[in-house]
Chains A and B, each alone.
Chain A
Amino acid sequence: MKPVGEHTRRSILVVSRHAHPGSSLPRSALDTALAAAAFDQPVTLLFQGEGLLQLLPAQDSRAAGVRNLRKVIDSLPLYDIETVYVDAIAAAAFGIARDSLPASARWLDTAGVRQLLASHDHVLGF
């Protein structure tokens, strides 16, 4: 395989801000991130607003015939997506405790979120 040139690797930030399973957008956001990672593009995920509810660990989605998105999110390190970012202000608003989120989650305040948005070549909102 030939080395991938600098110009062909663009950093992508996927912003996921809808709740699962009421919306299919969270699934699309994850599929986009996984596909980009499979193409060897550097991908970062940010869960903002109600999107962070996708990270709750005890989803039992079997009966509903939809994926347990937290389980899929837990596979991200195998796609070399090592960190997911979480909007700390939304987490506080929803009463989500840190220990219920993946160990790889990193918490960002507003300045941190802005910094993340500014530091990627492409930003995709879902």
Chain B
Amino acid sequence: MLLHTLSRSPAHAALRDCLAVLAPGDALLLLGDGVYAALAGSEAAALLAASGADLFVLDADAALAGVRDCLMPQATLVDDDGFVALSERYSRQLAWY
């Protein structure tokens, strides 16, 4: 089980490559421009929901991008401490950018 982080917008190949390996039981944390992938009703959000992975969004980045209030319901907002806790829970981490 892995913790994936995605920091590119959904128009970038990083999302496609990540989705190709994202498995149920993995966690995905969206940060930077990656937060746009969790926009409710978007194509990316539908694909992420179907992946079966646990979805997290970095709160500060979502706020900065102005998407904090329009995220898909499956996504959980986490702060920096939450990011650290996720890193501790998953021994392997893979960054998609």
Contacts and interface: CB of A to CB of B under 8 A. Distances in A.
Chains A and B in contact, CB within 8 Å: yes
Interface of A: 15, 17, 48-50, 87, 89-90, 110, 113-114, 117-118, 120-125
Given A114-B23, A125-B94, A49 B17 contact: yes
6 contacts: A17-B14, A48-B20, A113-B20, A114-B21, A120-B92, A125-B97
B31 to A, nearest CB: 14
Contact of B20 (A87, A122, A125): A87
Interface residues of B, number: 16
A49 B17 CA distance: 6
B16 interface: yes
A49 B94 contact: no
B21 A110 contact: yes
B1 A118 contact: yes
A123 B93 contact: yes
B92 to A, nearest CB: 5
Contacts of B1: 118
B57 interface: no
B97 A117 contact: no
B95 interface: yes
Contacts of A113: 20-21
